Each structure stands twice: as C-alpha cells, then as structure tokens.
Amino acid sequence: MTSFSSGERHRLRQGLAFLSPWIVGFLTFLLIPVGLSFYFSFCDYSLLQPPAFIGLANYRELMTDPVFWQSLRNTLTYAAMALPAGLMVSLGLALLLNQKVAGQSIFRTVVFLPSLVPTVASAMLWLWLFNTKLGLINTMLETPPFAALIRGLNAVLGVLHLPGVQPPIGWLTDPAFALPALAFMSVWGVGQTVVIYLAGLQDVPKELLEASELDGANAGQRLWNVTLPMLSPVIFFNLIMAIIGSLQEFSGPYIMTGGGPARATYFFTMYLYDNAFTYLKMGYASAMAWIQLLLILALTAIAFRTSKHWVHYQTK
C-alpha cells in the first residue's frame, strides 16, 4: 500500500471516477442480488416466508436428485451438439455473406431474421416441421432419394450391429431423437454470431490475402492459412458466448417439448426455473444457479487455457 506513488494514486482516482457508473450499478443491481442468491442457496426459501438457513442441505439434496443429474446430462449433450454445429454453420454463412454478390444486404438481413421472430412464433413452426405424421421433414424423408439414403444408412448400421432408422421418425416424441432435433433447430438462431463473424472478416487484411494468392495459394489454402488464423480471436469470442448461451438454453424447448418426452429434453435451466417459480423452492433453485455459474466459469476457463494454442492476435 505504501508503495503507491502520487501518480499512481492520481490514476487510480481517475480510473475509478470513469468506472463509477459501473461500480455503482454493479453493487446495486448485481452484487446485492447475486450475494442474496448465494445466501439463499444455503436456505430454505419460498419467497413468501423469510429465508431459513439450512447449511449445505440444498447442495446435498441436489447431489442425490436424479432429475438434477439428468437435466445436467441433457444440457451438456445438447451443448456438445449445438455448439460446434452453430459455430461452424455461422462461420460458413459469414464467409458466403462476405462475398460480393447481388442482394448482399438482403441476404444478411434474412439470415438475421430468425433472431428477431418471437420465440412463440418460431416454436410453432418447428413443431410442425418436426411433426411425425405431417411434418415437412418426415414427408421429405419419404421421397425416393432420401429413402434410398436411409436404406444405405441402415445397411451400414446393420453391419455394425446397430439398430436401423425407420421413418417416420418421432423427432420430438422419440427420446432418442428429441435432443438432436432441438440442437438442429438451434442452428437457426445464429444470426447474431454471423454478424460478429462478418465484422471480423472485414478486419482480415486484404494485403495478406493478395500476397498469399500471388504465392499460388488456392481459395482453400487462403482460408486455412490466412483467413481462419486472422479470424481466430473472433471465433474465440463466439465460442465463449456460445458456451454461455447453450448452457442456459431455455425458452424454445420449454415451449415446444416442455422437457419431454420422459424428460429427454429437460434442460438445466428448465429445472431451475421450475424449482424457483413452480415448486417455489427459491433456495434450491439458487443452489442450482450457483452450480451452473461455476460450470460456465470452469468451461470458459478451459477455453481460455486452450486459446493460447490456436488464437492468434494480430497485434500484441
């Protein structure tokens, strides 16, 4: 403390002055609520009665609650499917949308559209697309080219002694398909990610690409050796956002499946929400929230660890 020079103290005062709005907001609108929720996680709390301290009981109960583990497993499985799919599709889209073609701004707007349509509306549409009997997807799978494809797939599965696929597929009614179906659907909401990738692509120096082309690199090599490394910080940013987002997935699946069939799509946040507002166990829900927060922090930390090896900063 004594080592503070007057210049340092001056800078500290100035820095804090600029930060003051955030500090005030952080204390009032985040720290107090978060602190309260941390305290509640050690309490029996229904919102209506004052919280009563019960120590680690909520956490202990969670450890032996099969639904907690199932929702956690579902969420992680979903994230393992939705996250890479979303990141790759959005990157591919961004690369396409970066090409100078007629109607570029219309295409960009259209890709962003699904993120603007209210969740109820898009959920309704997907319910139909996935419908076992009348849905567009199953109708398509019954056309000859797809039927042949499925026969081929079944032949391969048969050799591997795995059960074959038999359309019509119960996308949302068969526990084996419900989670992949929702992950597939999530790819649609990549609009915001695409916009951020697009922005990143504007920053890839044209000179580097031109130089690479002069060296005889083809489009694929330019993408792999120049564009992707230059884009890696943006990919990293989107990865972090996707981790946060996919572990908190909630409203679409909540409207569409309500967590069913037989809890096959019951996500962590759904159980949290149900505990808080349907079962009135705010303490239990708070404990879940803290576990979720720690999980997100842990995954983000791992991502930061690995980032050294693949994220290249243009200037350092």
Partner 1 sequence: MRIVRGLILTALAGIGLYLLAFARNAGPEDARGRVVVTYWEKWTGNEAEQMQEIVRDFNDTVGKDKGIYVRYLSMSNITQKTLVSTAAGVPPDVAGLWDAQVPQFAAIDAVEPLDELATEYGITPDLYKPVYWKGCTYEGKLYGLISTPAAAALHYNKSLFLERADRLRAAGLDPNRPPRTLDELDRYSEALDVTETDAVGKKRIRAAGHLPLEPGQWMPHMPYWFGGSVYDEKTGRLTLTRPEVVRTYDWVRSYSVRLGKDAMTDFTSGFGQFNSTQNAFLSGAVAMEQEGPWMANFIEDLKPSMNRRKFPKEQEKGMSPEERRENYEWGAAPFPSAVPGLDDVTFAAFDVLMIPKGAKHKKEAFEFIAYVNRQDVMEKLTSLHCKNSPLHRVSAGYLRNHPNPYIDVFERLAASPNAHGVPPVPIWPEVSDELTVTTQKIYLLQATPEDALADAQKRLQAKLDAFRARQRLRKGGAQ
Partner 2 sequence: MSRKPNPLGNMIVLVALLILCLGFALPFLWMMSTSLKTLDRTMAMPPQWVPDPIVPQNYVKVLQNPKLNFPLLTRNTLMVAVLSVLGTTLSSSLVAYGFARIRFKGNSTLFGLMLATMMIPFPVIMVPLFTVFRWLGDHTGVPLLGTLTPLWLPSWFGSAFNIFMLRQFFLTLPMELSEAAQLDGCSEFGIFRRIVLPLSRPALAVVALFTFMGAWNDFLGPLVYLQDPGQYTLALGLQTFQSQHGGTEWNLLMAASVLVISPVILLFFLAQRTFIQGIATTGMK
Query: Six-digit token pair at 112?
Result: 């962003």
Q: Which of 67, 76, 157, 196 binds partner 2 (CB under 8 A)?
A: 196
- Does residue 32 bind partner 2 (CB under 8 A)? yes
Residue 258 Cβ vs partner 1, minimum distance, rounded to whole Å: 9
Q: Residues 279, 297, 302, 304: which binds partner 1 (CB under 8 A)?
A: 279
Question: Among residue numbers 7 through 26, which ones bind partner 2 (CB under 8 A)?
Answer: 8, 11-12, 14-19, 21-22, 24-26
Which residue of 48, 160, 214, 313 would you call a contact of partner 2, by CB under 8 A?
Answer: 313
Distance of closest approach, residue 8 Cβ to partner 2, in angstroms? 6
37 binds partner 2 (CB under 8 A): yes
In the range 133-152, which residues lie near partner 2 by CB under 8 A? Answer: 133-134, 139
Q: Retrieve residue 198's tokens.
A: 């697009």
> Binding to partner 2 (CB under 8 A): which residues in 70-109?
93, 96-102, 105-109
Site for partner 1 in 133-152 (CB under 8 A): 133-134
Instruction: CB nearer to partner 1: give 135 or 245.
Output: 135
Do residues 268 and 71 make contact, with C-beta atoms less than 8 angstroms apart?
Answer: yes
263: contact with partner 1 by CB under 8 A: yes
HSE on the CB side for 274, CA within 13 Å? Answer: 13
Among 119, 132, 192, 248, binds partner 1 (CB under 8 A): 132
Instruction: List the single partner that 116 binds among partner 1, partner 2, none, CB under 5 to 8 Å by kind.
Output: partner 2
Which CB sits closer to partner 2, 39 or 70? Answer: 39
Q: Is 289 in the site for partner 2 (CB under 8 A)?
A: yes
* Residue 197: closest CA among 309, 308, 88, 115: 88
Matching residue, tokens 């697309």: 129
Is the Cα torsion angle 262, 267, 271, 273 positive or negative in sign? negative
Residues of this chain, 229-288, that bind partner 2 according to CB under 8 A: 233-234, 237, 244, 248, 269, 272-273, 276, 282, 285-286
Q: How far is the CB of 97 from partner 2 (least distance, A)?
A: 7
Interface residues toward partner 1, by CB under 8 A? 44, 46-49, 52, 54, 57, 61, 65-67, 131-134, 166, 168, 170, 173-175, 260-263, 274, 277-280
